[in-house]
Amino acid sequence: MMNDGEMAAGTRLTLDLKHPNCWAIEATGRVGGGILAHAIYHTPKTTDESVNGLFTAYGDSDDEVETLLETIRDSPYAGSLLELQERFGRNDQTAAPGNVVREFFLEYDPGDMICPTLLENGFVHSAPVRIEDGRECWQVCFAGERENIEANLDGVREDGPAEVTVSSITTSKTTRSARKHRMNTLTGAQREVFDLARERGYYRWPRGVSTRELADELGVSKTTMLEHLRKAEGKLLDPRADR
């Protein structure tokens, strides 16, 4: 067993990915422009059946981005779209490619998300996800042994279900994996709820357990259980948690 100060191998991958029921994949497959997916948020108005995500739409012209946003609004997999008039927490104008950049919140079904499936199989995203031409580009870290990557990718392909190819892979030395760091930011209650949710199949599709069943097993209210679970997901799924 390594001490905290020892170096451990970490593997970074770029994944080219496509999965069903995704408004971003559908929209960018139909029209020009692209999307950056930044983070997932839970607000008082969302329920366990919906989440809000922060995204950037980009393109070469105002017309291209406007067409992309209209296509997103028309998607059967997209809920309400709220465009932001000012950039949300980032001053770096080069964060997204293209000549025109517009940020927005979008509400959608968490069952259509692929990030919990990636996380359950050991892949932690380390940068905003880029979606263009009906495909998603994920920068991820894999916390396990390199020889287990293909088996875990097969897990994503089966559980997603998803089409996944590896665009690049590099192994580097790091003092602590991104996944271990994020897990260590969870409180005891958050980790207990998250571990139980994984064990009971909450992140599978269709779900293996309901939020009410999880709350009953933990002996807490549904509201308390969801609060712990959403906070855990926020820490584990937001790449800025590493900073």
| pLDDT tens profile 101-115 | 999 999 998 888 998
Neighbours of 175 (CB within 10 A): 12
What is the per-residue pLDDT for 4? Answer: 37
Distance between CA atoms of residues 136 and 50, nearest Å = 21
pLDDT of 186 reads 86
pLDDT at 45: 55
Q: How far is CA 97 from CA 34, 72, 132, 179, in A?
A: 9, 19, 11, 28
Distance CA 99, CA 60 (A): 5
**Is the pLDDT higher at 175 or at 28?**
28
Q: Please tell me the predicted confidence (pLDDT) of residue 237.
A: 67
The answer to whether residue 149 scores a pLDDT higher than 50 is yes
Confidence tier at 92 by pLDDT (50, 70, 90): very low
> Is 168 within 8 Å of 160 (Cβ atoms)?
no
Residues 96, 102: contact at Cβ < 8 Å? no
Give pLDDT tens digits for 45-75: 555 578 889 999 999 999 999 999 999 999 9
Name the CATH code of domain 185-242 (choices 1.10.10, 3.90.550, 3.30.160, 1.20.1510).
1.10.10
For the record, the structure tokens of 187 come out as 């409180």
Residue 126 pLDDT: 85
Domain definitions of the chain by residue range: 8-175, 185-242
| pLDDT for the residue numbered 236 | 77
User: What percent of the chain clears pLDDT 90, i.e. is strictly above it?
Assistant: 48
β pairing state of 135-142 and 129-132: antiparallel
The single-letter DSSP state of residue 51 is: E
Task: Note the pTM of the prediction, 2 decimals.
Answer: 0.67
Q: What is the pLDDT of residue 110?
A: 86
Q: Counting Cβ atoms within 10 Å, is residue 153 exposed (0-12), middle (13-18) or buried (19+)? A: buried
Q: Rounded to an integer, what distance in angstroms lies between the CA atom of residue 56 and that of residue 81?
A: 12
CA distances from 66 to 100, 103, 123, 129 (A): 10, 12, 33, 20
Q: What is the pLDDT of residue 242?
A: 44
Does the pLDDT value for residue 1 go beyond 60? no
User: pLDDT confidence of 118, banded at 50, 70, 90?
Assistant: very high
Q: Across residues 185-198, what is the average pLDDT? A: 89
Q: Is the pLDDT of residue 16 over 90?
A: yes
